[in-house]
Structure 1
Amino acid sequence: MTSSPSSCPPRWEPLILCVGLVCRDITVEVPTYPLEDSKVVTTGYREGLGGNACNVAVALHKLGAEVELVTKILGTQHGVYDKLDTLGMFRHGMVVVKKEGHLGLSYIISSEDSRTIVHSRMSEQMMPDEIPIITYHHFWSTAQVSCLYLDGRFPHVAEVYATEAAVNRGVPVVMDVERSDRARLRELLQLCTGIIVSGHHTLHDVQTTLFTHGRSIFDACPRLEWIVVTMGRDGAELILKQQKEEGRTKDSSSSRRCIPSHQVDDVVDTTGAGDAFQAGLVYSMCKRRMLSTKEV
């Protein structure tokens, strides 16, 4: 049996759109965290790309996904654009590049039992009026997007993309909720299919700060289907939305599953353990959805 010229074979690698921060990371390793007014000799040093969305995008690329990164890159002196372009992050031209200004810089002091980050913000944020609108509409009308990933940065830009994905295209939206005080967090949560939260304390802060009267976050965010709470060396907890019918009303409840961490030796953290975990989660979700679609 031959297929018609217009029919396309199934594409087994997902296209994942990542919206968020790219910055530079400088990591120094020390035996112990330095005391005030002291001098410590480092035991390790490395420079590289950073930013949550950037780290997740790079990890997704390594897993085999096609990735399009929506971000703003300032300055040309460190070759950041060229490094990411070599990985195929800008095939559809959704990035904003300006020669003036500077990217954010994270200076990371890492010891055996602690990690401290001193972050200098980028000189200007990405705003919605910088979205290349013709490219934007062409992308959404021609690309088969499997998932939209947000790291919570550039919130007004993220909201534009999330609205298009969730409301107009039916594309799942996954967001990293690192803190409860991000701008436009309530509006972005309304558009999310799933969120990844840093610890139960952050989830508690989100629920008590943004949603009053003890409302469940699932009731307040009707599109939300799951929450993953990361707990470091203790693993992660998956909270799934469940619908239970009582008379004519439907109330949201949730079921919880704890996934312990898998202990391994000789791990070198070059991307960011949390970001690598999120990339694996998003990638596996996309692959599972694609396999389910094929079986149907």
Structure 2
Amino acid sequence: MRPIHLAVGKFNIDIIVKLNAFPLVDSKVNTDVMEIMPGGSATNYSVAVNRLGHSAKLLAKIGKSPLVSALLTPLAEEGVGLDFLIECEKKPNMALILLRDDGSISIVRRTDPSLLPSLEDVKKYSGMFDVIHYASISHDIIYKDPSAKIVSYDPGPYASEYEGEEVDILYVNEKEYESLKTKANAKIVVIKKGKEGAELIGSEECKVEALKVNVVDTTGAGDVFDAAFNVSYINTGSIEDSLRFASIAAGLKVTKLGGVSSPKLEEVVKMLKDVNINVKCR
């Protein structure tokens, strides 16, 4: 039986537009990229987990909209469990992702705080999952289920509010780490550094280099890294192997458009054979 993950967070409608410069007043610009996709960190994580060989269910609140219903269909086709979604009489969360030619992004969001699952919502499903991952949500929703093998947290924009709740793995970027390193209460802290790779602090300290690729879109790369590390760590228990696996998965993701465009397991396995990703631990 495949290990099962619960991804707790948001479901977004992502609108991705390639735009290198804003049009002037009363002018127009053309673009060759304008896509609508399911998104949100927990959503991206769920798809990645399924593509990498485990199973995932998504715990999120969704606003009522025909567009939301349409975007749930491809998630179901990916195998993401949607039976824990909570429908609300609210406008859905949306993100306008402005994509540049170099793959970098800027994001304009409409986020309704009431469209977040609660601590009580999470506790309902205690004892059902091998991994619980909290993605871009407030720290006060975290429940450290004692039956889970891994409880991980990627606070994203909520990093400055983190008060040191105990988790097994804490995922942050460099800026987030600087704001909370005195409060990081986790067995493993992973600091994601984009094209510079990642650093891990735990019983040992490790650094992994990034996969060298032509970047198309960085949306969701961090979520894919989180998913890949958790999947590999459950499978192998090896920090070095998991860092290498996660670095390759995140690198492959940025070659494709959209946060849910994560690589499949066979793509990562092939790249592991073809490319030497250096990991140094001490």
Q: TM class by shorter-chain length?
A: 0.7 to 0.9
Over the matched positions of the two proteins, sequence identity in percent amounts to 24
Asked if the contact 2:50–2:78 (Cα under 8 Å) also holds between the matched residues in 1, the reply is yes
Count of aligned pairs = 234
Asked if the contact 1:68–1:89 (Cα under 8 Å) also holds between the matched residues in 2, the reply is yes
**1:252-289: per-residue Cα shift (whole Å, max 9, x none)?**
xxx42221112134x65486222222211111111124
Report 1:130-141 matches (<5 A): 131=121, 136=124, 139-141=125-127
Residue 21 of structure 2 corresponds to residue 46 of structure 1: no
**1:175-198: per-residue Cα shift (whole Å, max 9, x none)?**
113245554x21xx4221011111
Alignment counterpart, residue 172 of structure 2, candidates 182, 192, 197: 197
Scaled by the length of structure 2, what TM-score is found? 0.72
Scaled by the length of structure 1, what TM-score is found? 0.69
Residue 86 of structure 2 corresponds to residue 96 of structure 1: yes
* 1:21/1:154 CA distance change after superposition, 3 Å: farther
Distance in 1 separating the partners of 2:126 and 2:122:
12
Asked if the contact 1:94–1:132 (Cα under 8 Å) also holds between the matched residues in 2, the reply is no
* 1:127/1:196 CA distance change after superposition, 3 Å: closer
CA-atom RMSD in angstroms: 2.8
**1:1-23: per-residue Cα shift (whole Å, max 9, x none)?**
xxxxxxxxxx3x21111100110
Partner residue in 1 for 2:222: 274
Distance in 2 separating the partners of 1:106 and 1:59:
20
Secondary structure of 2:234's aligned partner? helix
Query: Partner amino acid for 2:173?
Result: S
Query: Partner amino acid for 1:276?
Result: V
Unaligned runs of 5+ in 2: 239-282
Asked if the contact 1:149–1:173 (Cα under 8 Å) also holds between the matched residues in 2, the reply is yes
Distance in 1 separating the partners of 2:39 and 2:96:
10
Partner residue in 2 for 1:34: 22
Secondary structure of 1:287's aligned partner? helix
Query: Partner amino acid for 1:198?
Result: N
Distance in 1 separating the partners of 2:96 and 2:72:
20
Alignment counterpart, residue 154 of structure 2, candidates 158, 161, 176: 176
Alignment counterpart, residue 195 of structure 2, candidates 233, 237, 244: 233
Q: How much does 1:155 deviate?
A: 4.5
**1:47-68: per-residue Cα shift (whole Å, max 9, x none)?**
1001000001011111121111
Asked if the contact 2:9–2:116 (Cα under 8 Å) also holds between the matched residues in 1, the reply is no
